[in-house]
């Protein structure tokens, strides 16, 4: 076996790592005859609530899918509104996140973002780097396949440099080259907006995640819906290939 399998968990536990696909902003706006960008703007409130609730419930890592590699294909005015919203949200929220001991990290093809946003990202990461509370990761210009391809390239480079033997490549070394390197895999994936798919999010890291879907649109995702997801997670027995009896004796 290339790496130890994850530990089974008994019922009632809080997920260490929650990942969220925030979907439904556009439909929320359309239902109100508003432009799509106003849905994204309304979604910031749910981001804030998710961060607060995750920290209060004892979640250690929260990873949010804010903009996928494929989202570059959206109409130019929507992409530009989203980028401005990220800059504005960072400007408005980082001090508060810092006060609340949140450590912020961004993952994705960040070199594709414009300079203004890249600078904001880098400053916010530096400012919160020593914080010891919730680890908040925002995926922007991120795609799961891209992540895997980049990790493969990094391993290939190590092989070419002679610092890694092909036969030494295993789960653990592969994981260490991915964007979420150093973090435990998400235990729970939440997706709002009614679709039941992964949409090229954390393809490798979600291997064992419990998946929880809701029809609630992202701007309407509130504490009670988040708690519903956590409650459902707590009712699951995660076996990772073990038998139910083995898990009971953990
Ligand atoms: C998907 O909904 C949502 C996005 C592509 C953007 C998510 C961004 C935010 C919630 C803004 C704030 C984020 C941060 C990190 C400050 P959609 O537009 O695909 O909705 P639809 O499926 O109804 O069209």
Q: Give, using CA atoms, the residue closest to atom 22 of ligand 1.
A: 24
Q: What per-residue confidence (pLDDT) applies to 245?
A: 72
Q: What per-residue confidence (pLDDT) applies to 248?
A: 67
Q: Give, using CA atoms, the residue closest to atom 8 of ligand 1.
A: 66
| Ligand 1 mean position, distance from CA 183 (Å) | 24
Nearest alpha carbon to residue 94 among 104, 85, 82: 104
Q: How confident is the model at residue 116 (pLDDT cuts 50, 70, 90)?
A: very high
Tell me if 40 CB under 6 Å of ligand 1. Answer: yes
Locate the domains of the chain by residue range: 17-142+186-237
d(CA 171, CA 151): 12
**Interhelix angle 76-99/36-57, nearest 10 degrees:** 30
Q: Determine the atom of ligand 1 nearest the C-alpha atom of 86.
A: 16
Instruction: Say how far residue 121 (Cα) sits from the centre of its chain.
Output: 16
Q: What per-residue confidence (pLDDT) applies to 201?
A: 98
Asked if pLDDT for residue 2 goes beyond 60, the answer is: no
Give tens-digit pLDDT for 72-106.
999 999 999 999 999 999 999 999 999 999 999 99
Nearest alpha carbon to residue 59 among 138, 135, 137: 135
Tell me if 24 CB under 6 Å of ligand 1. Answer: yes
Q: Which of 31, 71, 114, 245 is catalytic?
A: 71
Pocket test for ligand 1, best of 19, 26, 29 (most atoms within 8 A of CB): 26
Q: What per-residue confidence (pLDDT) applies to 12?
A: 72
Among this protein's residues, is 71 annotated catalytic? yes
| Percent of the chain scoring above 90 in pLDDT | 89
Instruction: Say how far residue 144 (Cα) sits from the centre of its chain.
Output: 11
Reported pTM: 0.94
Mean pLDDT of the chain: 94
Q: How confident is the model at residue 158 (pLDDT cuts 50, 70, 90)?
A: very high
Domain 17-142+186-237 has CATH 3.40.50.10490: no
Tell me if 117 CB under 6 Å of ligand 1. Answer: no
CB under 8 A, 24+ apart: contacts of 2-6: 2/170, 2/171, 2/172, 3/170, 3/171, 3/172, 5/240, 5/241, 6/185, 6/208, 6/238, 6/240
């Amino acid at each position: 076996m290339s790496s130890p399998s994850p530990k089974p968990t008994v019922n009632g536990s809080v997920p260490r790592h929650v990942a969220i696909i925030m979907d439904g902003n556009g439909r929320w706006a359309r239902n109100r005859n508003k432009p799509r960008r106003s849905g994204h703007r309304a979604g910031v409130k749910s981001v804030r609530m998710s961060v607060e609730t995750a920290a209060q419930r004892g979640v250690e890592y929260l990873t949010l899918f804010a903009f996928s590699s494929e989202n570059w294909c959206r109409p130019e005015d929507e992409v530009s509104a989203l980028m401005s919203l990220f800059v504005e949200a960072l400007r408005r929220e980082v001090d508060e996140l810092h006060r609340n001991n949140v450590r912020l990290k961004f993952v994705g093809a960040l070199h594709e973002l414009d300079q203004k946003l890249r600078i904001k990202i880098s400053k916010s990461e530096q400012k919160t780097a020593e914080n010891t509370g919730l680890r908040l990761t925002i995926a922007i210009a991120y795609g799961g396949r891209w992540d895997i391809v980049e990790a493969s390239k990094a391993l290939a480079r190590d092989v070419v440099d002679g610092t890694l033997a092909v036969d030494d490549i295993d789960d653990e070394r592969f994981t260490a080259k991915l964007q979420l390197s150093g973090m435990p895999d998400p235990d729970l994936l939440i997706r709002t907006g009614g679709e039941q798919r992964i949409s090229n999010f954390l393809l490798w890291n979600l291997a064992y995640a419990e998946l929880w879907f809701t029809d609630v649109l992202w701007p309407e995702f509130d504490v009670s819906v988040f708690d519903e997801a956590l409650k459902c997670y707590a009712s699951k027995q995660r076996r990772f290939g073990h038998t139910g009896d083995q898990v009971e004796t953990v």
